[in-house]
Structure 1
Amino acid sequence: MTRTIYISLPVEHAGRAADFYAAIGFERDPAFSGENHAAMIWSEAIRIMLMQREAFAAMSPKRLIDPRIEAGALMALMLESREAVDAMIAAAVAAGGRELHGAEDEGGVYSRAFEDPDGNGWGPFHFAAPAS
């Protein structure tokens, strides 16, 4: 069995958020989706659970932050190329997200960043292994 991580994110509307994530390359998992939540697959091992704020708040005794104005976590996804990073940013912006910073190239690591319409931050990057 593959070890799998589910990252739960608070969103205003699960259906709208699922559409956004589908536009940037995630696949919806109807077996784990419902009225107030949507499971989205990135890979066999990485999935996110988009939970409407009320449902998310019911799962934790801690105060729920608003990711549009407070940072709780930043997720990074390693992609196969610089072009894939640029394509994800373009798709995110076209689907209603916001670019947080332009391209950065630091010693073989090419990265950009965006937030989804609910303010959750993502940093797609490409790592070019040094030539041996």
Structure 2
Amino acid sequence: MTKVFVNLPTSDLERSKAFYTAIGCDINPLFTDENAACVVWSDDIYFMILKTEFFATFTDKPIADPNQVVQVSVSFAQDSREDVDAIVEKALAAGGTEPKPAQDYGFMYSRDIDDPDGNSLGFLYMTPEAAENGPEHVEAH
């Protein structure tokens, strides 16, 4: 199985660690230091939260300010609409913001969060019927 590592810049490493642990993630101390934290979403998905200055050492390109531009939005499927709402409420309580209202398409329900640095996260629930057969095969309610 491929493991996924998503690198995100932060202006405040301690604030980011607090945010991600508040929404249910763990921090792997083996890959965490004064420049970066390894946020564990699952056995196969990790975020490397990197101080912006440290993040910049990995590229010659300018580092975008995630409060001003979106280059990537990472989305996580949840087991129910209630699970989507629960993680978003945790994220809001931990300092995240919700940039737009929930999107309800009947077959799919999603909500977005910006972490305290402005990095975009999406949380969604898709009905099993839609996930299996595609949205065009789901009856409108």
Q: Distance in 2 between matches of 1:87 and 1:12?
A: 26
* Percent of pairs with identical residues: 37
Q: Distance in 2 between matches of 1:41 and 1:111?
A: 22
Query: How is 1:62-77 mapped onto 2 (pairs within 5 angstroms)?
Result: 62-77=61-76
Q: Distance in 1 between matches of 2:39 and 2:15?
A: 13
Pairwise CA distance, 1:26: 1.1
Pairwise CA distance, 1:25: 1.5
Provide, for residues 84-106 of structure 1, a one-character-per-residue CA deviation record: whole Å limited to 9, x for no partner: 10011111111011011222121
Aligned to 2:119: 120
Aligned to 1:87: 86
Q: Distance in 1 between matches of 2:33 and 2:51?
A: 11
Pairwise CA distance, 1:82: 0.5
Q: Distance in 2 between matches of 1:101 and 1:82?
A: 17
Higher Cα radius of gyration: 2
Amino acid across the alignment from 1:92: A
Structure 1 contact 104–110 (Cα < 8 Å) conserved:
yes
Number of residue pairs the alignment of both structures matches: 131
Structure 1 contact 13–36 (Cα < 8 Å) conserved:
no
Pairwise CA distance, 1:3: 1.6
Q: Distance in 2 between matches of 1:44 and 1:78?
A: 15
Query: How is 1:93-132 mapped onto 2 (pairs within 5 angstroms)?
Result: 93-130=92-129
Q: Distance in 1 between matches of 2:14 and 2:3?
A: 23
Q: TM-score under structure 2 normalisation?
A: 0.89
Higher strand content, 1 or 2: 1
Amino acid across the alignment from 2:62: R
Aligned to 1:6: 5
**CA-atom RMSD, angstroms?**
1.4
Pairwise CA distance, 1:24: 0.9
Higher helix content, 1 or 2: 2
Deviates more, 1:103-112 or 1:61-70: 103-112
Provide, for residues 18-52 of structure 1, a one-character-per-residue CA deviation record: whole Å limited to 9, x for no partner: 11011111111111111110001111111000000
